[in-house]
Amino acid sequence: MIDPQTWPPLCGAVAGCGALLAVSGGAKLARTARGTGDGTAVQKVLRLSDRRWRVFQVAAGCGETIVGLLVCAGVRPALADALMAAEGVVFVALLAVVIRRGVAGDCGCVARRRPANPEQHAVTRWAVARAACVGVAGAVGAAAGVRAPSALPRSGALLAWALALVTLTLLTLVDLEVRTPRCRRSLLFPARTTLAAVTGHSVVQAMTVSWRPVGGRVLFRRTDCVDEFWFPVRATGHPGPESGTAHCYLEVRAGRVASGALAVRAAIAEQAPVGAVRTLAMRKG
């Protein structure tokens, strides 16, 4: 029967979450020292002035760093794990409020998504899921009395530390939008990621005021480093069934500049494209 206190995978997962907490705390302290930690979405939700926010961020950074190091070192494990669980719950609550209210700005987290401008949203559900993992790991560690990898036998300690490193890496990168070096496209689901960015772009939204998309599909084609989309549209106020055949298409060509920002060009096309074209489903909301 597996003993949860000395099971290397569980010990490694808890230690990895503790390491993430320490890294996150260190990142907050570094941002405060550089003077780049203001204007986050969390600061706006808490309604703190820049001066009070810096004090809060230093306190939060110190707390996260200390708790994370205690978890990894196995010092007073029950208390350290319980504190990690509490911090995870607080993170989840704050980030959930940010997403629900649609507050612009990043979360101030390690490996956070950086919006192209301060008015754009950067906090995602991935950040909430990562905070939830920290909370769950702390709760499980406190309830089961999980030991630190350093307290395990040599073979188990090596496996636990390896799994802790994997856990730290995965949780750190989960909210990072990894891009290809040449075209700056998203490495995971590039077409759908670009489609989501295009539908929220100000140029496309301005065009859809006069031209209403119809149906739930969009035509897609890839040309070198440019993603081309054709949205079936109908002029606003045009009579006819919503699901009927569109009169024309909103043609959108999107690419990434060197910084990773999205560059969009939109126009109205009378005919559908020909050639190697496939369709993508439009996601509502």
Could you read off the pLDDT tens digit of each residue along the chain, which spans 285 residues? 677 788 999 999 999 999 999 999 998 888 888 877 777 888 888 888 888 989 999 999 999 999 999 999 988 889 999 999 999 999 999 999 988 888 877 777 775 565 555 556 677 788 889 999 999 999 999 999 999 998 888 888 999 999 999 999 888 877 766 777 888 887 777 888 888 888 888 888 888 888 888 878 889 998 888 999 999 888 776 555 444 445 788 999 999 887 677 889 999 988 878 777 888 887 654
Domain boundaries along the sequence of the chain = 8-173, 190-281
- Per-residue confidence (pLDDT) for residue 244, from 0 to 100: 45
Q: Are 74 and 140 in contact (CB under 8 A)?
A: no
3-state secondary structure of 261: coil
Strand duo 248-256 + 262-269: pairing: antiparallel
Q: How many CB atoms lie within 10 A of CB 73?
A: 16
Q: How many CB atoms lie within 10 A of CB 201?
A: 16
Q: How far is Cα 152 from Cα 5, in angstroms, rounded to an integer? A: 9
Rg of the chain in Å (alpha carbons): 24
Task: Looking at the chain, list the stretches that DSSP marks H as alpha helix, in order from N- to C-terminal side.
Answer: 8-34, 41-46, 50-73, 77-101, 125-144, 154-173, 190-199, 202-210
Q: Match domain 190-281 to its CATH number in 1.10.260, 2.60.40, 3.30.420, 3.10.450.
A: 3.10.450
The token pair that represents 75 in the structure block: 């010092």
